[in-house]
Each structure stands twice: as structure tokens, then as C-alpha cells.
Amino acid sequence: MESPTPNMGVPAELAARMSMAEQHEYLRHKLSRRGLVRGGMIAVTATAVVGAAGGVAHADNGPALPKSANDDYDGVAVAPFGRHLSFGADPATEFSISWQTPVAVRKPFVRLGRAPWDLGHKVEAEVVALHTPALTPTGKPVDQYYLHVKLERLHPGTTYYYGVGHEGFDPADAEHFGTVGSFTTAPARSEHGRHSAPDPFTFTAFGDQGVSYHALGNDSVILAQNPAFHLHAGDIAYGDPAGQGLPADASQYDARTWDSFLFQTESVAKSVPWMVATGNHDMEAWYSPNGYGGDVARFPFIANGPDPAAAPGIYSFVYGNVAVISLDANDVSYEIPANFGITGGKQTAWLEQRLKAYRQQSGVDFIVVFFHHCAFSTTNQHASEGGVREQWVPLFEKYGVDLVINGHNHVYERTDGIAGGVVRSPLLIGGTHRPGTDGVVYATAGAAGRSLYSFPVADSYEGHEAAVDSVPTYHWVSGGGKVTETVAWSRVRYTNYSFLKVDVTPAPAGRTASMKVTALAEDGTRLDHFTIVRTAR
Ligand SMILES: [Fe+2]
Ligand SMILES: [Fe+2]
């Protein structure tokens, strides 16, 4: 289980009250007394896009550039790994390609082309060198090298082939040709109504993955669905296994967990954009005052949120007829308040502005919102976050959000249509949901691989329905307390590894567009399915 360990010298009552920024200061101060402080993160090239967004720690007395461990090193000995793709703000024209090298390399680059044998376009990569000192007296320092290339002005609906390399390793060479991958940009969006519908597409989602047999099992099933993109609802790798947002967490932190994670994730993310939200385990106190410096080094977040420097995990994009919004629930969490209020209310104001704009945007039929902490879940471990209910649920209802996807609770759980905190419309397995009148559906897909939680009542899922009219549970309130409640909205519960698949079928204006939502177990067995319908605009 994820419990805090003895802390690093901070009295317990003080530790419980420290914000992420205070923990960061404390950690750097403590380590500087031990003579261990060097830079947290160094963006090398002039086109630094990642370093600028994270409020990251900069070099105190370290080298200005990462160097090879061996000056005679020629790059031949190492291959890139951990390739992962991300959308830019416009998935039809902007992509980022990211990867890692086990040591510093010279002149990292991407080769790109419209055919695997024609990779003539070469783009220099940005290097982000991430240094983690020994965070415990017996630990060892870790240096990691992340490479990023931002691609713009791509053609919509087009497949590109790419390879990543560096001086001494060229993916265009015959011996490395097997490392060449591909991706496909989103279809062009229609601006003013449409007479024909774009092609159907699929996306997938889960949260709380980490590195495990089950995490890899889910990745394998996800790859077989051929998704256009994947949403990771936070608690990404568990480099910080404690996740309490406390100074003591640093004594368990292992930066190398991210190496295993990105190696595991490459199986999907080398061809499927892997879009992450930030959970409680993604706050890592060493790198930056907000705890997100490491995340920003590893993932090229879309920087179109209200305050990318404070909270990089807040952004949005449109793929086909679906608008996707990623939120940072650490900002509103009463349960784990280390970053509570980090955007100063800007996130909620931005959310309303985004929801309003997307509801009016021609060609956008569905709005999907994903973030870490659940508004509605009944597990014994975390249950429901009152901060999300207070700040965001009224907006989800006001603007008829079509689907909310969460993690944090390591189970699959899906609600009926909810409005005003109670069931508006029962949504049975196999049922149809009309968001305008039926309330909002919340799907918790937090069983991606890390571990499993438990429910206070029996599981109920496809082929094993055991309907329960009322479930005893609780929600978190201001100050960190729990308030018990008995609820009727828990429709589907499944205590095993699983994820969400969403099949989107657009339609000509005036006809019915649909999102078929399916929950799959790690062996591909179907656990739940329902269909969300709207009249296409
Ligand atoms: Fe988790
Ligand atoms: Fe979590």
C-alpha cells in the first residue's frame, strides 16, 4: 500500500501542512547542506520548449551542458528508447516526438518522411538533462536525458514515418531501420457545418499505471484497438510510490522508475499519442516548487491551459468531432492538498470558458474531460473528492459534458447519469445515454496496472450483474475530513485490471453521432458498454 515512510527530519504536524513549494525548498536546502545540490533540469538547445513551461530548478553550479560520460564516446554503443508521441494544440497539424537515451549523446535528431524509405527531413532535437541527486544518504544520483522535437505544419489526416537518432546512430541506416515508426495526424476539421461525416475513430483511456505485468497487459490490448490517441488520467509511473505530497515521499523517490515506464510504454506510445494528466503521484518535490518539473522534462504538454508554468497538466485539444479537456485535480483536492489552489482559481474559470467555447464550436459534438481524482467513486481507499464536486461538477452539468474519465481509485467503476449529486437517469450495461437530459456519466478507469483497491459491496459487471440499490461510502471535505454518505449511482464495479475504449462515430449535421464506451479487462474481455448519442452539428 501507499503509506508514508518516516520523514526526512520534518516534524510530522509540520509535514502534513507543507505545500509542494515548501517541500521543494526544504528538500533543496537540506541537500545543499549535504553538498549534493546540482542542477535539477537543463534545457540545452535554443528551441527550449519544455524547460520554459515547468518552473523548473535550474543549474546552481553544474555544467551548462550535459556531457558524455566518456569524451571518446561516439554514440554507436547506445540506442534511443522510450519513444512517446504527443499531440500539439492542433492534432491535425502538430505532433511532438519524445524519447530518451541512456547517456548524453551528440546531435540528437528526428528523421521524418511520407514513406519509410524516404526519411529526408531531419530536425534537431531539444535535449532536457534531468539530474536527481541522492535523495537519501545511501541513494545514488541519477542523470536522465530526454529528447524532444516539436513538429508543426503537418498535413491533416496523413501518415508520417519517423526515426530518432544521434551522432553514431542513424535510423536511416540499414542496421537500424527496424526502429522506424509511424504516426497519423488527425483529420482536417470542418469549420462551418458539414455535409459528410469524417471517418469513425477510437481512443482509449486509463489511470494509475506504473510498471507491472498488468500495465504491460493493458498496453498490449490497447495497441490491438488501434486507437487514434490514449488518455492517461494521472499517477503515471509511480517514481514517487508514496504519493502523499509529503516531504517523506522523497525518501522513496526513484527517478529510474521512469526509465522502466517509458520503455514499457513505448510499445503503444511510439505510434499512439500518449496524453497525460497529472495525479498525486506525479508531484515530485525535488525538481520544482510545483512538483511537476520532472513531468515537464518527460512529456511535452500542450501549453494552452490557464497557467502552464503552475500546472502543465491543464490543456485541451479537438480530434475530429470530440473536444478533450485535461484538468489538474491536485489544484482542488481536499484529500491530498500539497498543490491545493495552485492556479488561484484560474483553472475553474478556464474550464468554464473552454466548455462554453466547445459547446458553440461548429463540428464539435462531444466533450470528454479527464483528470485524476474522482467526483464519484465508492472504493474503500479514496472514494469521492469533494473539491472536484464543488468546483467542477456544476460546470459539467451546466455544459452537458458527455463523459468524465478519472483514475485515483484503482478499479473500474461507472455511474448512472448524475445531476445534483443524485441519479438523474439509470444507465444499464448496454444502455443509451443522452447527455442533454440524462445527467453526466463518470467512469473511473484507475486499474491500469499499479495495484487494486476494493469496494464496500460486490462487483457488478457485464455477465455478472449484482445490482445494489445503495452503497455506503464517503467524500473528502475541506480540511481533509471524510463525510459518509449512501449513494445509488454506482452502476458498474469491477475489481481487476482494465481500461476504457471509446469508439466515436461522427455523422452529417442533423444526424445522430455516437460514442460507444466499452470497458475491457486486461485480457480483452468486455466488462461494460453503453452508447452516448448527440445530434451532430
Ligand atoms: Fe493511483
Ligand atoms: Fe492517485
13/245: higher pLDDT:
245
SS3 readout for 226-287: CCCEEEECCCCCCCCCCCCCCHHHHHHCCCCHHHHHHHHHHHHHCCCCEEECCCHHHCCCCC
Does 58 score more than 70 pLDDT?
no
Query: pLDDT digit string (tens) for 180-225?
Result: 999 999 999 765 445 567 899 999 999 999 999 999 999 999 999 9
Query: Taking ligand 1, which is a single-atom ion, which protein residues have CB atoms under 5 Å away?
Result: 208, 235
| pLDDT at residue 191 in the model | 55
Contact 469/231 with Cβ under 8 angstroms? no
Instruction: State the distance from the centre of ligand 1 to the C-alpha of 409, rounded, in angstroms.
Output: 6
Contact 91/322 with Cβ under 8 angstroms? no
* Nearest to 347, CA basis, from 290, 297, 285, 293: 290
Cα–Cα distance for residue pair 285/338, rounded to 1 Å? 10
The bound ligand whose nearest atom lies closest to the alpha carbon of 382 is: 2
Using pLDDT thresholds of 50, 70 and 90, give the confidence band for residue 508.
very high
Contact 86/94 with Cβ under 8 angstroms? no
What whole-number percentage of the chain has pLDDT above 90? 80
Which residues, in sequence order, are CB contacts of 25 under 8 Å at separation 6+?
289
Q: Write the DSSP string, 149-165.
A: EEE-SPPTT-EEEEEEE
| pLDDT at residue 42 in the model | 54
Instruction: State the distance from the centre of ligand 1 to the C-alpha of 145, rounded, in angstroms.
Output: 26
Instruction: State the distance from the centre of ligand 2 to the C-alpha of 59, rounded, in angstroms.
Output: 30
Instruction: State the distance from the centre of ligand 1 to the C-alpha of 236, rounded, in angstroms.
Output: 8
| pLDDT at residue 33 in the model | 76
Instruction: State the distance from the centre of ligand 2 to the C-alpha of 406, rounded, in angstroms.
Output: 10
Query: pLDDT digit string (tens) for 467-507?
Result: 898 999 999 999 999 999 999 999 999 999 999 999 999 99
Q: What letter does residue 375 receive in the DSSP assignment?
A: S
Instruction: State the distance from the centre of ligand 1 to the C-alpha of 330, rounded, in angstroms.
Output: 13
Query: pLDDT digit string (tens) for 121-172?
Result: 999 999 999 999 988 888 899 999 999 999 999 999 999 999 999 999 999 9
The bound ligand whose nearest atom lies closest to the alpha carbon of 206 is: 1
Instruction: State the distance from the centre of ligand 1 to the C-alpha of 128, rounded, in angstroms.
Output: 27
C-alpha 56 chain-centroid distance: 19
Does 39 score more than 60 pLDDT?
no
pTM for the complete prediction? Answer: 0.92
Instruction: State the distance from the centre of ligand 1 to the C-alpha of 532, rounded, in angstroms.
Output: 27
Q: What is the average pLDDT across 300-304?
A: 98
Instruction: State the distance from the centre of ligand 2 to the C-alpha of 521, rounded, in angstroms.
Output: 20
Give how far Cα 381 sits from Cα of 237, 249, 394, 421, 451, Å. Answer: 19, 19, 25, 20, 12
Q: What is the mean pLDDT of the chain?
A: 90
Which residues, in sequence order, are CB contacts of 298 under 8 Å at separation 6+?
98, 130, 146, 258, 262
Instruction: State the distance from the centre of ligand 1 to the C-alpha of 371, rounded, in angstroms.
Output: 12
Using pLDDT thresholds of 50, 70 and 90, give the confidence band for residue 76.
confident
Would residue 341 be called left, alpha or beta, if left means φ above 0 and alpha means ψ between -120 and 50 degrees?
A: left
The bound ligand whose nearest atom lies closest to the alpha carbon of 282 is: 2
Cα–Cα distance for residue pair 317/358, rounded to 1 Å? 10
Cα–Cα distance for residue pair 493/204, rounded to 1 Å? 19
The residues with which 182 forms a beta bridge, in sequence order, are 161
The bound ligand whose nearest atom lies closest to the alpha carbon of 371 is: 2
Cα–Cα distance for residue pair 406/373, rounded to 1 Å? 6
The bound ligand whose nearest atom lies closest to the alpha carbon of 1 is: 1
The bound ligand whose nearest atom lies closest to the alpha carbon of 335 is: 2
Contact 240/281 with Cβ under 8 angstroms? yes
Cα–Cα distance for residue pair 146/125, rounded to 1 Å? 9
Instruction: State the distance from the centre of ligand 2 to the C-alpha of 282, rounded, in angstroms.
Output: 9
Helices 213-224 and 257-269 sit at what angle, rounded to 10 degrees?
20
Q: What cell was used for 210?
A: 506504473
Instruction: State the distance from the centre of ligand 1 to the C-alpha of 157, rounded, in angstroms.
Output: 35
Cα–Cα distance for residue pair 409/383, rounded to 1 Å? 7
Contact 498/323 with Cβ under 8 angstroms? no
| pLDDT at residue 73 in the model | 64
Instruction: State the distance from the centre of ligand 1 to the C-alpha of 203, rounded, in angstroms.
Output: 21
| pLDDT at residue 38 in the model | 60
Using pLDDT thresholds of 50, 70 and 90, give the confidence band for residue 251.
confident
The bound ligand whose nearest atom lies closest to the alpha carbon of 410 is: 1
Does 46 score more than 80 pLDDT?
no
Instruction: State the distance from the centre of ligand 2 to the C-alpha of 464, rounded, in angstroms.
Output: 27
What whole-number percentage of the chain has pLDDT above 70? 88
Cα–Cα distance for residue pair 52/29, rounded to 1 Å? 23
Cα–Cα distance for residue pair 335/525, rounded to 1 Å? 33
Which residues, in sequence order, are CB contacts of 333 under 8 Å at separation 6+?
280, 339, 340, 373, 385, 387, 388, 476
Instruction: State the distance from the centre of ligand 2 to the C-alpha of 239, rounded, in angstroms.
Output: 13
Alpha helix (H) residue ranges in 283-376: 293-298, 346-360
SS3 readout for 430-481: CCEECHHHHCECEEEECCCCCCCCCCCCCCEECCECCCCCCEEEEEEECCCE
